């Protein structure tokens, strides 16, 4: 059959149209977080491939020069626009580098008085000669000139606006930041937030900011107001009192359809919902929202009335899969529990069966668990689902006996066992299964690649007796301060102020310091500053009244102050403080986010402890699973490669490779995408707890990774390293 020039032109035009309508992704660039609007972490570049991967070397290294703190990190997935790489530093400066050389072009310092948090990326917008980078630092959203690094003064107030805009008056003094970048749609910047997970959480509404002016254009209420869809799934006044249900993990955009797909987390307080009885829409949901108007199109809830902190941890992937001999556009959402929810992109209907199964009831005061929870039947879970005696670690007899003695004391054996004062096993743990690194999707084959954690965690709920008028009333400011501490601080710093002390075991994290003998180690003034501004992983508690702050300080500094019964003003002050404390609506706190280790600090479960997985979304099958990372000291003892906990995602390429860092052993690796065989690895100067970006400059392919370290007790770093083939 002869093909005319006319036919060639038509075919070419069709190809261009497809390219432009398929979320404008040609997959040779990395212009947005996770590579494209569909969040697929895929590159069509194949200059680096299975045959030459062994030759790949560092091409340039850039150090940000930040003053590093304990546990400081870089989780940024850089974007690359016209040969310029945009990223953030540990202290949340915005930088622009020559993407081919790593040379600094400019740096923007927000110059704010706040404790830096993690930042996972930035966003780019342009209109003719107006080119902007939008990024968040603290509770602020900045617009910065992409060419000069100067603030865009026409945006907001001299280049900055508040991330609290559109959240209502209640959020004014509450903790609100954004760790994941928003998505750019026309002249809108659509973004979610990270909020507190305790009772003092701000609402997690999704908002669209006008990129030209900084004003809020629309708000989607994830905790519905009267008259809105989903309002009946909460108590009547929930929208005025409950927080969370926030899209902290990022947002996916189908530009052709004009739809954003928003994954949300749990409502706050995470582990007791007696004040939010009901199904709790739109917490723990994938929500399809009209990007122009903010109106709901459809939703699918992955956990009903969440009591397990089962936030959706990453933006869903926009995928096209073959089912019943037809290509179907879908969204694929990976979860902390190790499942993939595969839903029709237009209707939200599952492509594979999902079964609602009965789950156990809670025995906590005032709690009512939802009777059923959804379990996808295909694909099978990519993380193990039940920690029983059969899965106790087998790396040594001593480890087995130690772990069994603890396992026998807690509730375990299945998913969705409610939190309890006896102690409840979470497996997969609070950090997955899948985590914020998300999944990579091969657009040519329909295969999804996702890394997973296989770490058990144990949590005990603790009764506060705050609302029990018959319990012993606190008689001094010190006593009230102890109640304030246990309600708000003990979750991280421990019931006995012990923190999670690094060094107790060789692989513990040491994220939260001990507060014992604080009066001998830290001036009271510095502690007040930390309470008001936050520090590291600790959010600000500036919403506390001065009375509440002083009571907490009285307890932390062991100031046993009694009320002066002879002084009516003092007595009235104490009574008001008691009332403020007893108005607290949550009757429980908990012992914190505690990984379950053996006596030597290794995970309590049989290996693998971290995996990389290939899942065929066409058939709903797991193709292969391999360990990700290793403990060299165990390998030398003859223990098969165990894998490690991991943070950051994979990128799959047309060269047949999967690039991923993420592992605790501080390596970046390349795997064969067809078999899972490890083909290459390189020891980084600090852990690469981020997702790589893959791009091309002057026909040369680069792989760049942020090496910020700081997680899981590893050393912090301030590096960006770009890899590629050496010049010929």
Asked whether residue 719 falls in the same domain as residue 683, the answer is yes
Above 80 in pLDDT, residue 20?
no
Q: Based on the domain organization, do 534 and 622 belong to the same domain? A: no
Q: What is the pLDDT of residue 116?
A: 82
Q: Which of 159-168, 448-457, 559-568, 643-652 is predicted least confidently?
A: 559-568
Last residue within a domain, chosen from 535, 569, 585? 585
pLDDT over 90 at 168, yes or no: yes
Segment 610-659, tens digit of pLDDT? 999 999 999 999 999 999 999 999 999 999 999 999 999 999 999 999 99
Which of 220-234, 306-320, 524-538, 565-579 is least confident? 565-579
560 and 525 in a common domain: yes
Supply φ then ψ for residue 391, to 5 degrees: -100, 5
Query: Are residues 41 and 34 in contact, defined by beta-carbon separation less than 8 angstroms?
Result: yes
What mean pLDDT comes out for the span 370-379? Answer: 98
End residue of a domain, out of 524, 550, 585: 585
Residue at 391 is within a domain: no
Q: In this model, does residue 573 exceed pLDDT 80?
A: no
Q: Is the pLDDT of residue 502 over 70?
A: no
CA gap 635, 230 in Å, rounded: 52
Domain limits for position 88: 32-120+436-455+610-728
Q: What is the mean pLDDT of residues 117-139?
A: 96
Query: In the predicted model, is pLDDT for residue 18 greater than 50?
Result: no
621 shares a domain with 726 = yes
- Indicate if 618 and 697 belong to the same structural domain: yes
| SS3 state at 188 | strand
572 with 672, same domain? no
Residues 561 and 651 both lie in one domain: no
| 700-709 pLDDT tens trace | 999 999 999 9
Confidence of residue 564 (pLDDT cuts 50, 70, 90): very low
Assess whether 450 and 477 both reside in one domain: no
Identify the band that residue 571 occupies on the pLDDT scale cut at 50, 70 and 90: low
Residue 191 pLDDT exceeds 50: yes
Q: Which of 6-10, 267-271, 477-481, 517-521 has the lowest mean pLDDT?
A: 6-10
Confidence band of 160 (pLDDT split at 50, 70, 90): very high
- 523 in the same domain as 564: yes
Stretch 520-547: mean pLDDT, rounded?
83
Q: Is residue 234 part of a domain?
A: no
pLDDT confidence bin for 7, thresholds 50/70/90: very low
pLDDT value at residue 16 = 41
Between 65 and 575, the higher pLDDT residue: 65
Question: Region 114-140: what's the mean pLDDT?
Answer: 94
In this prediction, residue 470 carries a pLDDT of: 54
Q: What is the dihedral of CA 427, 432, 434, 437, to 10 degrees?
A: -170
Say whether both 469 and 493 belong to one domain: yes
Residue 121 is classified by DSSP as: -
625 and 561 share a domain? no
Whole-angstrom Cα distance, residue 143 to residue 117? Answer: 19
* Residue 480: band (very low, low, confident or very high) from pLDDT cuts 50, 70, 90: confident
Residue 245, domain member (yes or no): no
User: For residue 690, which of 69, 121, 253, 29 has the smallest C-alpha distance?
Assistant: 121
Is 664 within a domain? yes
Average pLDDT over the chain reads: 91
- Classify residue 718: in a domain, yes or no: yes
Residue 218 belongs to a domain? no
pLDDT of residue 85: 98
Assigned domain for 396 exists: no
Q: Within a domain: residue 556?
A: yes
318 pLDDT exceeds 80?
A: yes
Burial of 103 (0-12, 13-18, 19+ CB in 10 A): exposed
Indicate which CATH number applies to the domain containing 526.
1.10.760.10
Q: pLDDT band for position 449 (50/70/90)?
A: very high
**Which pTM does this prediction carry?**
0.92
- Are 658 and 716 in the same domain? yes
pLDDT in the model for residue 25: 61
Beta strands in 237-282 (DSSP E): 243-244, 252-254, 259-263, 267-268
Q: Phi then psi for 144, rounded to 5 degrees?
A: -125, 135
Domain count, the chain: 2
Across the range 63-78, mean pLDDT stands at 93
Least trusted range by pLDDT, from 40-54, 299-313, 557-571, 639-653:
557-571
Cβ-contact 252, 240 below 8 angstroms: no
End-to-end Cα, the chain, rounded Å: 43
Q: Please tell me the predicted confidence (pLDDT) of residue 609.
A: 98
Query: How does residue 567 score in pLDDT terms, banded at 50, 70 and 90?
Result: very low
């Amino acid at each position: 059959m002869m093909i005319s020039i006319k036919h060639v032109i038509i075919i070419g035009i069709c190809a261009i149209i497809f390219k432009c309508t398929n979320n404008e992704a040609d997959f040779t660039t990395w212009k947005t977080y996770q590579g494209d609007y569909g969040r697929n972490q895929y590159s069509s570049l194949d200059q680096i491939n299975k045959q030459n991967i062994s030759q790949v070397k560092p091409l340039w290294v850039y150090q940000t020069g930040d003053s590093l703190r304990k546990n400081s990190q870089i989780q940024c997935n850089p974007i690359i626009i016209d040969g310029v790489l945009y990223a953030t530093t540990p202290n949340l400066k915005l930088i622009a580098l020559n993407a081919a050389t790593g040379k600094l072009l400019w740096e923007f310092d927000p110059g704010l008085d706040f404790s830096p948090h993690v930042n996972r990326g930035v966003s780019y917008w342009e209109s003719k000669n107006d080119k902007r980078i939008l990024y968040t630092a603290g509770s602020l959203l900045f617009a910065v000139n992409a060419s000069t690094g100067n603030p865009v003064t026409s945006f907001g107030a001299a280049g900055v606006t508040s991330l609290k805009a559109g959240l209502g008056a209640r959020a004014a003094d509450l903790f609100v930041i954004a760790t994941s970048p928003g998505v750019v749609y026309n002249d809108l910047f659509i973004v979610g937030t990270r909020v507190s997970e305790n009772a003092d959480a701000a609402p997690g509404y999704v908002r669209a900011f006008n990129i030209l002016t900084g004003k809020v254009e629309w708000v989607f209420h994830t905790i519905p107001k009267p008259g809105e869809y989903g309002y009946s799934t909460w108590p009547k006044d929930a929208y005025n009192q409950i927080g969370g249900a926030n899209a902290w993990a990022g947002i996916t955009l189908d530009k052709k359809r004009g739809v954003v797909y928003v994954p949300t987390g749990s409502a706050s307080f995470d582990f007791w919902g007696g004040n939010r009885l009901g199904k709790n829409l739109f917490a723990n949901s994938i929500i399809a929202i009209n990007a122009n108007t903010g109106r709901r199109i459809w939703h699918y809830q992955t956990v009903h009335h969440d009591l397990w902190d089962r936030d959706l941890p990453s933006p869903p992937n926009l995928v096209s899969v073959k089912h019943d001999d037809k290509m179907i556009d879908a969204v694929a959402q990976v979860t902390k529990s190790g499942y993939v929810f595969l839903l029709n992109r237009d209707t939200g209907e599952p492509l594979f069966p999902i079964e609602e199964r009965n789950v156990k009831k809670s025995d906590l005061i005032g709690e009512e668990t939802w009777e059923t929870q959804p379990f996808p039947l295909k694909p099978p879970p990519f993380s193990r689902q039940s920690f029983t005696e059969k899965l106790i670690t087998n790396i040594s007899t001593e480890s087995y006996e130690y772990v069994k003695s603890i396992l026998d004391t807690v509730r375990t054996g299945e998913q969705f066992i409610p939190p309890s004062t006896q102690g409840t096993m979470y497996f997969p743990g609070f950090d997955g299964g899948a985590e914020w690194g998300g999944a990579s999707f091969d657009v040519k084959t329909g295969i999804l690649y996702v890394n997973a954690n296989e770490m058990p965690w144990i949590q005990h709920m603790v009764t506060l007796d705050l609302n029990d008028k018959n319990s012993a009333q606190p008689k001094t400011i010190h006593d009230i301060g102890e109640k304030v501490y246990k309600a708000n601080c003990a979750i991280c710093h421990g019931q006995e102020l012990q923190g999670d002390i690094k060094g107790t075991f060789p692989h513990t994290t040491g994220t939260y310091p001990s507060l014992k003998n604080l009066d001998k180690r830290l001036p009271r003034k510095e502690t007040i500053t930390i309470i008001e501004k936050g520090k590291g992983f600790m959010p600000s508690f500036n919403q506390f009244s001065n009375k509440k702050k002083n009571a907490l300080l009285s307890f932390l500094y062991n100031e046993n102050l009694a009320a002066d019964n002879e002084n009516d003003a003092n007595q009235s002050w104490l009574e008001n403080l008691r009332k403020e404390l007893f108005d607290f609506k949550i009757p429980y706190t908990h012992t914190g986010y505690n990984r379950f280790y053996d006596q030597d600090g290794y995970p309590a479960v049989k290996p693998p402890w971290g995996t990389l997985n290939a899942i065929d979304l066409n058939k709903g099958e797991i193709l292969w699973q391999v360990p990700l990372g290793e403990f060299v000291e165990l390998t030398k003892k003859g223990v098969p490669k165990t894998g490690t906990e991991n943070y950051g995602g994979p990128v799959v390429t047309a060269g047949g490779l999967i690039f991923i860092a993420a592992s605790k052993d501080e390596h970046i690796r390349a795997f064969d995408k067809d078999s899972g065989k490890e083909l290459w690895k390189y020891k980084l100067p600090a852990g690469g707890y981020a997702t790589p970006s893959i791009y091309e400059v002057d026909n040369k392919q680069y792989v760049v990774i942020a090496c910020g370290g700081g997680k899981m007790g590893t050393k912090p770093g301030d590096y960006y390293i770009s890899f590629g083939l050496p010049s010929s």
